[in-house]
Structure 1
Amino acid sequence: MDEAKKKDILSRLNQAGKNTLNETLDIVYTDVSDDFLSATMPVTSRVHQPYGILHGGASCVLAETLGSCLSLIHVDPAKYVPVGTNINSNHLRAKRDGVITGTATFIRKGNTMHVSQIEIRDEKGHLINHTTMTNNIIPVGKV
C-alpha cells in the first residue's frame, strides 16, 4: 500500500470516528497496510473500572472497532457492510495508565465472512488483551 492510500484511509477512519464512541475513548487510527490496522487508546480514569485498572469493556471496544474497520477497508462499502457477529476477548494483563495499541489482522478473509485477531499491547510490548472477532459480510440492501 502506498503512502497516499495509507494517509487517505487513516484520515477517513479518524474522521468517521468523530462524535462516536471512538472520540469518547480517544481512539486514534495510527497505521494501516494491506495486512493490518492499528489504533491507540489512552488509559486514563475515563476507561478504568472501580479498581483503577483498564476496564475490559474498553479493551473490547478498541478490539471490535479495529476488527470491524479492518473488514470495512477490505470490502466495497457501496455493496457490502461488515456486521460483527461474534467476539471473544481475553484480558491478560492489568493496565493503569499510559497508552495501549491494538493491531488487527485477518485469520480468514472470505467473501462472506472475515475472522480477525486483535492484539492489544502496552508501550513495553506486553500483551494486555487478545481478541478474536467474526464479521459477516452482508450486501447493503440486506442489512
Structure 2
Amino acid sequence: MDQATKEAKLKHLNEWCKHTILEVLDIKFIDITEDSLTATMPVTWKVHQPMGLMHGGASCVLAESLGSTLSVTALDLDKYYAVGTSINSNHLKSATKGIVTGTARFIRKGATLHYSEIEIRNEKGELLNHTTMTNIVIRK
C-alpha cells in the first residue's frame, strides 16, 4: 500500500471513531498494512484504576478496538460487517504513564472468520498485554 493510501485510510479510521470510546480514551490509529493495524493510547488518569495503574479494561478496549477495526479494513462494508465473538486478554506488565502502542495482526483472515493477535507494548517496547480475538464475518 502506498503512503498516500495509508494516510487516507488512517484519517478515515480516526474520523470514523469520533464520538466513541476510542475518542474518550484518546486512541489513535497510526499505521496500517494489508494484515495489521497499529494504534496508540496515552496512559493518563482516564485509563487508571484506583492504584494508579493502567486498568486491564482499558487494555481490552485498545485490543478489541484494534482487532475489530482490523477486520473492518479487510471487508467490503457494503456487503459485510464483522462482529466480535471472543476475546482473551493476558495482562503481563503494568504501566502508570506514557504512551502504549497496540498492534493487531491477522492470524487467519478467512471468508467467515477472522482471528487476530494483538500486542500492547510500552515506550520501551516491553510487552504489557497479549490478546487474541475472534470476529465472525456476516453478510448484510
Task: Give the TM-score of the pair, scaled to structure 2.
Answer: 0.99
- Looking at structure 1, the residues matched to 116 and 5 of structure 2 have their Cα atoms a distance apart, in angstroms, of 22
Query: Deviations 1:105-142 (Å, cap 9, x if unpaired)?
Result: 011110000000000000000000000000000011xx
Percent identity of paired positions between Structure 1 and Structure 2: 59
1:9 paired residue number: 9
Shift, 1:37, TM fit: 0.3
Question: Distance in 2 between the 1:34 and 1:106 partners?
Answer: 9
The CA RMSD measured in Å over matched residues stands at 0.5
Q: CA offsets, 1:33-60, max 9 Å, x none? A: 1121000000011100111100000000
SS at match of 2:86: strand
Q: Which residue of 2 aligns with 1:81?
A: 81
Give the partner amino acid of 1:42: P
Aligned to 1:60: 60
Q: Specify the SS of the correspondent of 1:82.
A: strand
Q: Which residue of 2 aligns with 1:50?
A: 50
The answer to whether structure 1 residue 21 and structure 2 residue 47 are counterparts is no
Q: Matched residues in 2 for 1:111 and 1:124: separation?
A: 37
Deviations 1:47-95 (A, max 9, x none): 0011110000000000000000100000100000010000000000010
Return the alpha-carbon distance in structure 2 between the equivalents of residues 64 and 109 of structure 1. 16
Match for 1:87: what amino acid? I
Where has structure 1 moved over 3 Å in runs of 4 or more?
A: none
Equivalent AA in structure 2 for residue 56 of structure 1? G
Whole-Å Cα distance in 1 between the matches of residues 135 and 3 of structure 2?
27
Residue segments in structure 1 that go unaligned for 5+ positions in a row:
none
Equivalent position amino acid for 1:62 in 2: L
Aligned length: 140
Number of the residue aligned with 1:117: 117
